[in-house]
Structure 1
Amino acid sequence: MTVRAIRGAISLDVDERSHLHERTRELVAALMEQNSLTTDDVISAIFTVTPDIVSDFPAAAAREMGFGAVPLMCAQEIPVPGALPRIVRVMMHAEMNVPRDAVVHVYLRDAVALRRDLAQ
C-alpha cells in the first residue's frame, strides 16, 4: 500500500456546533466515498478552520462517524485578508492502491472556489 494525502474543504452557513458537525460529516463522507475508503484505510487527518469558526472542533464530528481510533488534529488557518469565511479544510492521509493523480480531492459548497481545478 502507498500512503496518499487527500484534500478537501467545505463552507459553513453559520458557526453553530450542529451545523459544523453536519457539514464536516458531509465532507468526510464524500472523501471516503469518492476514494472508496474505510476508516481502516485512514492513517490520520488534520482539520483546519478559518478564524471565524469557534463553535467546536471538526474532529469531534469525525469521531462521531467512527474515526475514534484514527489520530485527528485541528488547527486554525492563518487569517488572510479577503479569504473565504467559515471554511473547514481537511488533509487526510490514507493507505491507497492508486496513483497520486487518481486521488479524488473534494471541495463542496462555497469551498469549490478554493480549488476549481480539483473540484468536481
Structure 2
Amino acid sequence: MFRGVRGATTVTANTEEAIVTATEELLAKIIEVNQIQPDTVASVFISTTEDVTAAFPAKAMRKFEGWTYVPVMCMREIPVPNSLKMCIRVMMHVNTNQNQKDIFHVYLNEAKVLRPDLDNSLAL
C-alpha cells in the first residue's frame, strides 16, 4: 500500500544554499524517522511558496546515496493571502505496510505551525 509522508520547513533567505540545506535537513529527518528506503518510494513532490525561487529544492535529494532514480518534482504552492512565507513542503509517496496513524510527518522551523495536530516530536 502507498502512503503519503508529509513534511515542511522554512528558510530564512532565498539563496541556493539556504534552500538546499533546509530541504536536505527535512528529507533526512523524514527518511530517518520513517526508516524509508529509496526502492520503496514511488515519487516525491516538493513545493515552495512563491518567495522561494533561488534553487530547485529537489537538488537536495540527489545528495542522498541510492536516491538517484527516485522521481522528484518541484512545484509552486498557491499564493494564499497571509499564509506561511519562505516555506518548502514535501510529499513523499512510499510503499509501506504501516498504518496511516503510524507515519511520522515532519515539520521543522516555522513550518511547525502548519500541522500542530501532527506533532510527532517524540519521534524526532
Give TM class, smaller chain. over 0.9
| Offset of residue 50 of structure 1 | 0.2
What's the CA shift string for 1:31-68, capped at 9, x where partnerless? 00110112122111000000000011111111222422
Distance 2:33 2:43 in 1: 18
Matches within 5 A, 1:75-94: 75-94=75-94
Aligned to 1:70: 70
Q: Which residue of 2 aligns with 1:7?
A: 6
Which aligned pairs between 1:26-45 and structure 2 lie closer than 5 A? 26-45=25-44
State how far apart, in whole Å, the 2-side matches of 1:20 and 1:39 are.
Answer: 22
Q: Report runs of 4+ in structure 1 exceeding 2 Å deviation.
A: none
* Larger deviation, residues 102-111 vs 57-66: 57-66
Structure 1 unpaired stretches of 5+ = none
Cα distance in 2, alignment partners of residues 23 and 83 from structure 1: 19
- Corresponding residue for residue 103 of structure 2: 103
- What SS class does the counterpart of residue 117 from structure 1 fall into? helix
Q: Give the TM-score of the pair, scaled to structure 1.
A: 0.95
SS of 1:93's partner is strand
> Match of 2:38, as an amino acid?
T
Aligned residues: 119
Letter in 2 for 1:76: R
What is the TM-score of this pair, normalised by structure 2?
A: 0.92
Gaps of 5+ in 2: none
| RMSD of Structure 2 on Structure 1 (CA) | 0.9
- The DSSP-based 3-state class of the residue aligned with 2:118 is coil
